[in-house]
Amino acid sequence: MRFGLRMLQGAFAGRVLGLAQNQTVIMGRGSDTSVRLPDMSLSRRHCQLTNTPRGLLIADLGSSNGTYLNGNRLPQGWHQVRPGDRVSLGNCEFLAFDYDAQQPVASSGVHRGPQQQPPGGSGVHRHQPPPQPGGSGSHHQQAPGGSGVHRQQPQHAGAAGDSSQNNLGVDADRFEGFVLQRKLGQGAFGEVFQAVETAQNRVVALKVVNAQLVRNPKDIQRFLREAETGQSLNHPNILKIYSAGESRGAYYIAMEYIPGKEVSELLRAYGRLDVGYVLRLAIQLASGLQHAYENGIVHRDIKPDNVMVLQHPQHGAVAKLVDFGLAKCFTEDDGGGLTEQGEGMGTLAYMPPEQLDDALNADQRSDIYSLGATIFHMLSGQRPFAEKTTRSFIKKILQSPPPSLCSLNPQVPLELDEIIQRAMSKSPEDRYQTPQELQDDLLELFRRLAAEHASRSGGG
């Protein structure tokens, strides 16, 4: 069954979004979403919908202001959307209907206001997570424009020869130099494939955007900028970008295939992470940021969603910084023209004060703040600020220090709390001035804690 979503309120009121079987869309205000909505009350990646054999399911992606189904704010997890239901996010409201019937019919028990309760129950239909995408035990694949990093395990040898059986929807050899093996995800503007780069005989993630489906030319420019930025960086803690190109009206980026998990997924599974584990990841991420800084690159969107972790057989947990779609080169005066003066950019929960309305002038100290906020979330299991409205969120970011980590997690040493407080100082001048400075303090603390642990265990 195909589903339709008719926008009742919002910038595109009256338009209809159709979701075919097994199609997934991510809504939000960010350029890395499938359906981009010009609404500042939305998070960059606000919610996700997927049309599964079990029906249309929706999940909030940890948005600041929440996603509402029939007037009820959705808790974590997947929930079923039925014809006649209303989905609200920010100032946008959608009516779900049977697309094949072509006529949306509103149910009599539907209410618009977030506080109103529909008769006969909560109006929220709980549902077990679907086989794809997202949810516990599943393999969420981001739509093109996101990080392009994939958590499914690579296929065994010979998989390339089975591509005709994997419902690719396109010719396996559509992109010269690559053999598509299977589709990993689909969005409104394109798809993500697992592919083999024949010249190098390696498995890659191939992120594809159909230029004819992108309305804002800046989205294509940012897509190409992501490839250009990624190719200029070579560091073990940064996702590798191999190449980019165009074929038959579609742009693509070939990138490192990572069989790992996003930090955000680990947080959903475990609540908060072990102090020693977080320190290991934080040291690696600071090292990656130092490399970007030395090459004139500011990421501008560091958050748990943009950090992948994989288990290396020799080195243990390895952190990878991904998604440079919002990055800028601070050696260019105008940022390539993709960011306007006075424009805010990033993800609000991890955004430093200066980036709220002036992302053009963000520098490495802005990334240090966002990394500090990400470490805070890993250690505490919650964001530094968790306000219900955008206005109160911004006020907290501008005026209030984050809570003490020690009060939220007694296992966090006071020294680590102080490091994060400094990294998240309101004024860039009060923060660490380079990622290397932050890495040095983290590494010194890690070594001291390791020595103390060894001494208590009788190893020293």
Phi/psi class of residue 14: alpha, beta or left (left: φ > 0; alpha: ψ in -120 to 50)? left
What DSSP state is assigned to residue 66? -
Sign of the CA dihedral running 296, 300, 302, 308: negative
Give the Cα separation of 319 and 292 in Å (integer): 15
Cα–chain center distance at 14:
29
Q: Are residues 178 and 162 in contact, defined by beta-carbon separation less than 8 angstroms? A: no
In the residue annotation, 301 being an active-site residue is answered as yes
Give the Cα separation of 451 and 272 in Å (integer): 24
Q: At what angle do helices 275-294 and 435-456 cross, to 10 degrees?
A: 150
Residues paired with 51 in a beta bridge: 56
What does 358-409 look like in DSSP terms, one character per residue? -GGG--HHHHHHHHHHHHHHHHHSS-S---SSHHHHHHHHHH-PPPPHHHH-
Q: What angle do CA 345, 392, 335 make, to 5 degrees?
A: 10
Q: What angle do CA 264, 447, 236 make, to 5 degrees?
A: 50
Sign of the CA dihedral running 320, 350, 366, 223: positive
Return contacts of 441-446, CB within 8 angstroms, 24+ apart. 442/279, 442/282, 442/283, 442/286, 443/283, 445/279, 445/413, 445/415, 445/416, 445/419, 446/276, 446/279, 446/280, 446/283
Which amino acid is present at 35? V
Q: Are residues 213 and 239 in contact, defined by beta-carbon separation less than 8 angstroms? A: no
Q: Are residues 364 and 434 in contact, defined by beta-carbon separation less than 8 angstroms? A: yes
Give the active site residue among 39, 60, 219, 301.
301
DSSP percent split of the chain into helix, strand, coil, nearest 5:
30, 25, 45
Q: At what angle do helices 414-423 and 364-380 cross, to 10 degrees?
A: 140
Question: Which are the catalytic amino acids?
Answer: 301
